[in-house]
């Protein structure tokens, strides 16, 4: 297993300074870069461990605190094991923070994350991959459509609200995407009903995007998050296999 080096870095943005986690293999070789977008629960130990696993596979990974406008990590105090059933107040604390990150603000920030990677010695020159979880899948999709010249691969897992009827729905950027895309949908996910799955698939197909969209049977929204009750080991390992295969092909 490759030894990795992880550290907290500060990234200047148009609206301030964001803290982020940067991790890469421990040697001095620049590696292909992966931009990793968090879920609503934020940058925390479990997500750092996921970023570490990507770095162990040979990538330089940037995991930004997309809620930096509300403070440094932890933006919202959370227990080690996050169970909304045991903490009904959790969405009252997180909801306003999540909703304040509009698509416009998120994409303004995406430019900062990509500029940081372009200037980062551990990151190899060339295009990057983007992956995201839950709300992060929306951010990944939007980034691939907003910065097509920089993104060679985009992945999203148990994403919600990916293809709504709203004028700013993420699937509407499909026509601009040049990356190869993979989406692993949760079967039991009220935030991405079947009509949205079809709408996303249709948009990617119409735009000529190389893609694969799969529904993981029986998986719940959040199936990759081992620090929540939604975790599904089988679905999680399927996600890792799909993600690493995509990265190997495209980077």
pLDDT digit of tens for each residue in the chain (251 aa)? 689 999 999 999 999 999 999 999 999 899 999 999 999 999 999 999 999 999 999 999 999 999 999 999 999 999 999 999 999 899 999 999 999 999 999 999 999 999 999 999 999 999 999 999 999 999 999 999 999 999 999 999 999 999 999 999 999 999 999 999 999 999 999 999 999 999 999 999 999 999 999 999 999 999 999 999 999 999 999 999 999 999 999 99
CB atoms near residue 100 (< 10 Å): 11
Q: What single string gives the DSSP state of each residue in 112-142?
A: HHHHHHHT-TTBPSS-EEEEEETHHHHHHHH
Give me the torsion for CA of 235, 96, 46, 5, rounded to 10°. Answer: 120
What are phi and psi for residue 153, nearest 5 degrees?
-150, 140
Sheet of 151-157, strand order? 4-13, 16-25, 60-64, 33-37, 128-133, 151-157, 180-188, 211-220
Give the helix/strand (H/E) hosting 33.
Answer: strand 33-37
Helix axes 45-56, 233-250, angle to 10 degrees: 40
Which residues are CB-neighbours of 4 under 8 A, at least 6 positions away? 23, 24, 25, 26, 52, 55, 56
Q: Which token pair is 162? A: 């990916």
- Give residue 1's pLDDT: 66
- Give residue 28's pLDDT: 82
- Which domains are present in the chain? 4-250 (3.40.50.1820)
């Amino acid at each position: 297993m490759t030894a990795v080096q992880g550290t907290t870095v500060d990234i200047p943005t148009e609206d301030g300074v964001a803290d982020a986690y940067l991790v890469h293999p421990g040697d001095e070789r620049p590696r292909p870069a992966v931009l990793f977008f968090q879920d609503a629960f934020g940058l925390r130990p479990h997500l750092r461990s996921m970023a570490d696993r990507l770095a162990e596979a040979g990538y330089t990974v940037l995991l930004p605190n997309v809620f930096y406008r509300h403070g440094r990590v932890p933006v919202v105090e959370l227990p080690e094991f996050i169970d909304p059933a045991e903490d009904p107040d959790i969405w009252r604390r997180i909801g306003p923070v999540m909703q304040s990150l509009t698509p416009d603000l998120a994409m303004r920030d995406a430019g900062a994350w990509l500029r940081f990677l372009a200037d980062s010695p551990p990151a190899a020159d060339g295009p990057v991959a983007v992956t995201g979880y839950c709300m992060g899948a929306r951010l990944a999709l939007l980034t691939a459509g907003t910065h097509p010249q920089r993104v060679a691969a985009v992945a999203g897992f148990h994403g919600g609200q990916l293809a709504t009827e709203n004028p700013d729905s993420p699937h509407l950027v499909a026509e601009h995407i040049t990356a190869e895309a993979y989406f692993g949908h949760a079967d039991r996910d009220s935030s991405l009903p079947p009509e949205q799955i079809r709408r996303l698939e249709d948009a990617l197909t119409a735009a000529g995007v190389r893609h694969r969209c799969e529904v993981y049977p029986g998986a719940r929204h959040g199936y990759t998050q081992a620090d929540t009750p939604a975790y599904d080991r089988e679905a999680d390992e399927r996600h890792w296999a799909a993600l690493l295969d995509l990265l190997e092909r495209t980077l």
